[in-house]
Structure 1
Amino acid sequence: MERNRKREGLLEKTAQVLDLPGDVVAGLPRLELTGSRELRMENHKGILAYGSQEIHISGGKVVFKVRGEDLELKAMNASQLLITGDIAAIELN
């Protein structure tokens, strides 16, 4: 437990010194939703399920369930992805 706290403190200090967002330094998932038509995600851990009405994305400790119509994975690499379509909801589990 104490080791995790020390690590979190070090990551926070690093983020402050380098003027970076803490979530980026810690490798946490970061979502950017543009209207209801486009979702960008950084620091994902992979696609768990894929369909035109639902896409499940691993964020490490949390699973993101993107629900909607005509969903499509437009681009993906090891750390980022782009989903387009009519996004109705994003659930965290």
Structure 2
Amino acid sequence: MAKKWRRRVANWITRTIELPPDVMMDLPRITMVGQLHIYIENHRGLLAFSDTELRLLLKQGQLQIKGSQFVIKTILPEEIMLEGRIEQVTYLES
């Protein structure tokens, strides 16, 4: 019950103040450039990395990216840039 109320209040504030939803609701922002680069902001940490898969912890769930020839170009506490051939981006609910 409290979660629904908080979500409704956050949605109302976001619409009223015109803040981007990712800022107000702590959502990840994902920017892709073709199949070559993906930039993710507002994640909670790196769970797994190989040259074919990257998994990130989100506030709710995980983000899984599959492909090949992956290289992490930038990694900061809440931001990551991945380069390689991106074939699949999947949101995994917790």
Q: TM-score, with normalisation over the residues of structure 1?
A: 0.85
1:42 corresponds to: 41
Looking at structure 2, the residues matched to 70 and 18 of structure 1 have their Cα atoms a distance apart, in angstroms, of 42
Runs of 4+ in 1 over 2 A off after TM superposition: none
Counterpart residue type for residue 80 of structure 1:
E
Matches within 5 A, 1:1-93: 1=1, 3-93=2-92
Q: How much identity, in percent, do the aligned residues show?
A: 23
Looking at structure 2, the residues matched to 55 and 46 of structure 1 have their Cα atoms a distance apart, in angstroms, of 11
Supply the RMSD in Å over aligned alpha carbons.
1.5
Looking at structure 2, the residues matched to 17 and 91 of structure 1 have their Cα atoms a distance apart, in angstroms, of 31
How many pairs were matched up? 92
Other structure's SS at 1:49 match: strand
Counterpart residue type for residue 50 of structure 2:
G
Q: TM-score, with normalisation over the residues of structure 2?
A: 0.84
- Of stretches 32-41 and 55-64 in structure 1, the one that deviates more from structure 2 is 55-64
Looking at structure 2, the residues matched to 67 and 9 of structure 1 have their Cα atoms a distance apart, in angstroms, of 34
Partners of 2:75 and 2:81 within 8 A in 1: yes
Other structure's SS at 1:91 match: strand
> Which structure 2 residue ranges, 5 or more long, are not aligned?
none
Other structure's SS at 1:9 match: helix
Instruction: State the Cα deviation string for residues 25-81 of structure 1 (Å, max 9, x = none).
Output: 110122111100111111101111111111111113222111111111111222221
Counterpart residue type for residue 88 of structure 1:
E
> Which structure 1 residue ranges, 5 or more long, are not aligned?
none
